[in-house]
Amino acid sequence: MNKLTHITCPICDKKNTWHAENAFRPFCSDRCKLIDLGEWASESRKIPGEPVDPYDLNGKNDEQDPLF
């Protein structure tokens, strides 16, 4: 017997069942999935921590590198 896993949509709090037929999981719909994507894109949601310089690939500044 398969036990159903019940989840709550992180956007609208609607109750859902986690199953392969739900293409939007963990969301309840395409609408909620797009709302979440928009929140990440607008930086309303972000992972906490110090800002990272996207050009600092080695963990140090190129100006401090003697080979620069």
Question: Is 28 labeled as ligand-binding?
Answer: yes
C-alpha 33/C-alpha 15 separation (Å) is 15
Q: Residue 30, SS3?
A: helix
The reply to whether 37 sits in an annotated binding site is no
Q: Report d(CA 61, CA 67) in Å as an integer.
A: 11
Does the annotation flag 32 for ligand binding? yes
Binding residue ranges:
9, 12, 28, 32
The annotation places the binding site for Zn(2+) at 9, 12, 28, 32
